[in-house]
Structure 1
Amino acid sequence: MPSRHKLAIFGDSNLGAVRRAWEAGLLRFHGYDVEFWGAAGGDYRAIHYGKGALRATTPEAEETVLLVNGNGRRALAATDFDVFVFYGVRLRLAEFFAAYLEVMLDPDRAISDAALACAAAQFLQERRAVRMAQMMRADGAKEIVFVYAGFPSWGIVNQAEEGRLLAKTPRIVEARAEHRARLWAALGRVFDDLGFGFIGQPEETVVRGMFTDPIYAVEGALEKEDANHKSPGFAALLLKKRFD
């Protein structure tokens, strides 16, 4: 019988969609022994990398991590798994897309692919999860794959309200596939240069420029005004081509 690879799925509150997809049989991860590891909210912020492993730095966060993991794994060491998936992990790519789509859609402005590449590199280097992954890679992690957990779902909240995406960048609803493709390509090249895999958002799930089709919103999204979390079906769509 062929040996199975060890897969760790690390993330923030978006990790729940992956776990539900796996438990429902929407994802099978053929050939992998799977463990989940991570935390939500403030407990996620208390996870840091040091001495070869990701660890929770507060008792409350450690309790959450152990609950999520279910196998008593207090630390996620760089050499313990064959593959690490960083799911969600607060990449905040909607901020990147909104800023540069607004530029591309302005007839009086333009941006080159070289400038986009520099912007993508700088943006990702500012993400704490990317820096943690770089340290893991330096300490022997074999493969790390980043997965974006999706643009906000359309129609769940009023995106034109102050502080939301359309308040500062109203043109983004006009963005077309070719605009998005330039940004995905820029991000993909940076992840590739860093030695990481990357799974962006499938084009068929995008509506209104850079929002997620509400059919993929988490259950009860309208009642909870939760435009950020997605359904198990969405998580399965992202991961199954790579892992099934």
Structure 2
Amino acid sequence: MVPLPNCSLTGIRLEGMERNKYTGVYIRTGWDPDKSSPNIRINNDEVPSKLHRESAVFSTDLAMSDTGFSKGSHILDVKWSTKMRGSHAVIGVALAEAPKHATSYTNLLGSTESSWGWDINNNKLIHNGQTIGNYPKDKVDGVFEVPKKISCIIDMITGTIGFKTNGEYLGDAFSGLKHKTVFLAVSAVRGDAKILVAYNKGCNNTPLSLQDLSKLTLRNQVTFAEQIDHLPTSPGLKRLIADKSITDLDSIDENTHPQSD
């Protein structure tokens, strides 16, 4: 299989394919007060964005990112101290309509069809109110201690979500998310909990079609554009090969800009 061009998870094998490096794209991402529980206060004046859960009794509260992801591959870094997790601490993704508040202590993220969560206390994956497995898969309850910094990898090219800690990719956590728009999300119960989020890196490119990949391969066989005229093929195919726009990747969204080193 041909690798995706300049876009995917560095050093991670997914579906047997070695991913290439990300392009230098930065998407300004913070917590969104309009898609979060009323018990959560958000400070987006600085980067990284910080949320502060107020001391609400018998309450579980959810926050979402202000950026939704429907294409490309993206890494977002979340910092959540182990001392601020309480009995139910969940990180993952959600659709915009996912519930933001519950009047009990529960794993709110993952409680419906519209959210997917990793319980970082018990190493469990949750979706639609059901525990669907351990994560990482080779760890049992409480064996794996999740550190303060968690990188969430949202790969909408393959429709998968995974996590990375201490430089190690832990594997795919959720799949089947293609053609959805997902938001990074957390749900928490601990009073005064503070959770930070920042966009790390990514790209908004989509895979080239088979026709475009073939065209790109043919273009690589010629040194100068004028050599295309001398290829032993039809005029229509020559025009196809000569048209650079056919291999142009998706343009970067308006809310993106090059990431500084």
Normalising by the residue count of structure 1, what TM-score does the alignment of the two structures yield?
0.22
TM superposition score normalised by structure 2: 0.21
Larger Rg: 2
